[in-house]
């Protein structure tokens, strides 16, 4: 009898584990569901293995460092036969970048793009992103600068913005060294990188000594950290719970590391219900105008959507974080005046809790008179641009659309 019991327990554990790994919630309408299951399953296995390794072997490393190590790759090649793009690692005013440039040039001075990679400001690096950034440089046949900004939690706000800005400023002020036309420079990024790109475009605009950024190509960007109860947040919390590519909980964790350099559980709990800000602030005209759910098209709002209350929150916590949140670099969507921003391509994903960050920004850019192409890829999840051993058809389309826009507008 005893042996049977262990077999049964073993089967139950294996069943539960494989359920956890390969049977996440997959809502109706999500494109390429089996690829999604596989990629999410592998991401979870990697997380579990990283945790085991951290517990057994890396006494001296943080979990995040061990986890980052699981994705470390070999140095990308500088030259690839048949490719017109050469790449090299350089130092732009103290910031490491990978510079891609055309070997044979068609123009005396080419346009350029500064790219900030995704990974929640905590993960990934310019090597892991080489496959995507090289492809972008090749398809556009321009100079591309991929920025190795410092990561959270070791470095907090505004280190990531400072590094991205330093690299961008260096390119703009040394354009002729790279045979770049400084009046034709784009910024781009995915997810947290899209957030950085958005902030950089605004910062460059505000600096009278720099030529404006001409184009921004933003792939499912984050644009604000005030409102975690947008229609898309409500949709994804209901559909995925804590089991998806980018969950509500993960965002709160990343936000906590961005501000405090660690997981602060009180803050994380408050953030998810928008209780990190004070009612008095939520009731300001400015808040309601800039983070305005009425900008989201009706057909994208779930039936069960509830407008978030404006009479709850924490005065104490708000007092503590207010200065950081009020920094004009912190939340690009909170900028009151969006006139003069670059021509913008903004991609959002239907199954992404931060979809509405991108939509609200796109709508407000448009209202401020900018040229905007906003595309919502309704079947997509957050991270679909990812280029690896599996590619997503929608991600490929999104990339093509973004690059086509850059090609026309640069």
Ligand X SMILES: *[C@@H]1O[C@H](CO)[C@@H](O)[C@H](O)[C@H]1NC(C)=O
> Using CB under 6 A as the criterion, which residues of the chain lie in contact with ligand X when the complex forms?
60, 273, 275, 283, 288-289, 292, 294-295, 307, 310, 312-313
Q: Kindly state the smallest distance separating residue 282's Cβ from ligand X, in Å.
A: 7
Q: Which residues have a Cβ under 8 Å from the Cβ of 212 and sit 6 or more positions away?
A: 204, 205, 340, 342
Cα-to-chain-centroid distance, residue 186: 17
- Shortest distance, CB of residue 269 to ligand X, whole angstroms? 6
Cis peptide before 107 (omega within 30 of 0): no
Sign of CA dihedral 399, 405, 408, 410: negative
Which of 146, 191, 256, 344 is labelled catalytic? 191
HSE toward the beta carbon, residue 385, CA cutoff 13 A: 31
Active-site choice (127, 264, 331, 352): 352
Shortest Å, Cβ 153 to ligand X:
17
Cα distance between the two ends of the chain? 73
Q: Which two tokens stand for residue 46?
A: 């990697």
Q: Is 191 a catalytic residue?
A: yes
Contact 183, 319 (CB under 8 A): no
| Nearest-approach distance from CB 362 to ligand X, in angstroms | 12
- Phi and psi for 91 in degrees, rounded to 5? -115, 115
- In the complex, the smallest distance separating the C-beta of residue 368 from ligand X, rounded to whole angstroms, is 12
Q: Nearest approach, Cβ of 262 to ligand X (angstroms)?
A: 18
Do the Cβ atoms of 302 and 234 come closer than 8 Å? yes
Specify whether 315 is catalytic.
no
Residue 381's nearest CA partner among 332, 348, 346, 338 is 348
Rank residues 58 and 397 by Cβ distance to ligand X and give the closer one.
58
Nearer to ligand X, 41 or 261 (CB): 261
| Catalytic-residue membership of 188 | no
In the chain, what's the furthest Cα-to-Cα distance?
A: 81
Cis status, amide bond into 158, omega within 30 of 0: yes
Q: Is 374 helix (H, G, I), strand (E, B) or coil?
A: strand
Dist. CA 394–CA 290, nearest whole Å: 30
What is the side-by-side strand order in the sheet with 343-351?
85-92, 95-102, 143-147, 110-116, 180-190, 215-219, 343-351, 372-381
CB of residue 234 to ligand X, shortest distance in Å:
13
CB of 283 to ligand X, least distance (A): 4
Closest to ligand X by CB, 135 vs 249, is 249
- Closer to ligand X by CB, 68 or 98: give it: 68
Q: How far, in Å, CA of 47 to CA of 41, rounded?
A: 10
Question: Rg of the chain's alpha carbons, rounded to an integer?
Answer: 22
283 contact partners, CB below 8 Å, separation of at least 6: 310, 311
Q: Which of residues 293 and 329 has its CB atom nearest to ligand X in the complex?
A: 293
Q: Pick from 173, 227, 167, 175: which is nearest to 197 by CA? A: 167
Strands (E), 152-219: 180-190, 215-219
* Active site members: 191, 352, 382
């Amino acid at each position: 009898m005893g042996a049977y019991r262990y077999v049964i327990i073993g089967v139950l554990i294996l069943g539960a584990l494989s359920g956890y790994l390969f049977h996440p919630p997959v809502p109706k309408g999500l494109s390429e569901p089996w690829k999604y299951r596989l990629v999410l399953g592998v991401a979870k296995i990697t997380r579990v293995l990283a945790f085991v390794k951290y517990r057994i072997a890396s006494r001296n490393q943080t979990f995040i460092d061990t986890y980052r190590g699981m994705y470390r790759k070999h140095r990308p090649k500088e030259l690839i036969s048949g490719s017109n793009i050469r790449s090299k690692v350089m130092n732009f005013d103290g910031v490491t970048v990978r510079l891609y440039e055309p070997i044979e040039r068609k123009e005396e001075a080419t346009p350029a793009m500064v790219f900030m990679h995704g990974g929640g400001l905590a993960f990934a690096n310019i090597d892991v992103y080489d496959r995507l950034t090289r492809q972008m440089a090749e398809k556009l046949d321009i100079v591309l600068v991929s920025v190795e900004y410092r990561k959270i939690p070791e470095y907090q706000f505004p280190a990531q913005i400072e590094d991205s800005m330093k690299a961008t400023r260096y390119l703009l002020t040394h354009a002729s060294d790279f045979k770049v036309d400084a009046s034709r420079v784009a910024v781009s990024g995915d997810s947290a990188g899209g957030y950085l790109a958005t902030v950089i475009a605004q910062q460059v605009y505000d600096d009278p000594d720099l030529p404006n950024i001409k184009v921004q190509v933003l792939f499912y960007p984050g644009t604000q950290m005030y409102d975690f109860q947008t229609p898309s947040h409500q949709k994804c919390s209901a559909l995925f719970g804590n089991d998806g590519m980018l969950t509500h909980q993960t965002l709160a964790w990343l936000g906590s590391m961005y501000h405090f350099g660690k997981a602060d559980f009180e803050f994380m709990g408050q953030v998810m219900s928008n209780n990190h800000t004070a009612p008095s602030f939520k009731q300001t005209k400015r808040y309601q105008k800039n983070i305005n759910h009425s900008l989201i098209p009706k057909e994208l709002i779930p039936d069960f959507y509830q407008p978030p209350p404006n009479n709850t929150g924490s005065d104490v916590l708000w007092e503590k974080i207010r200065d950081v949140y009020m920094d004009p670099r912190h939340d690009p969507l909170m900028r009151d005046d969006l006139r003069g921003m670059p021509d913008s391509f903004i991609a959002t994903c239907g199954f992404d809790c931060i979809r509405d960050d991108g939509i609200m920004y796109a709508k407000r850019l448009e209202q401020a008179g900018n040229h905007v192409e906003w595309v919502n890829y309704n079947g997509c999840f957050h991270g679909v641009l990812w280029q690896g051993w599996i590619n997503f058809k929608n991600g490929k389309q999104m990339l093509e659309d973004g690059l086509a826009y850059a090609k026309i507008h640069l």
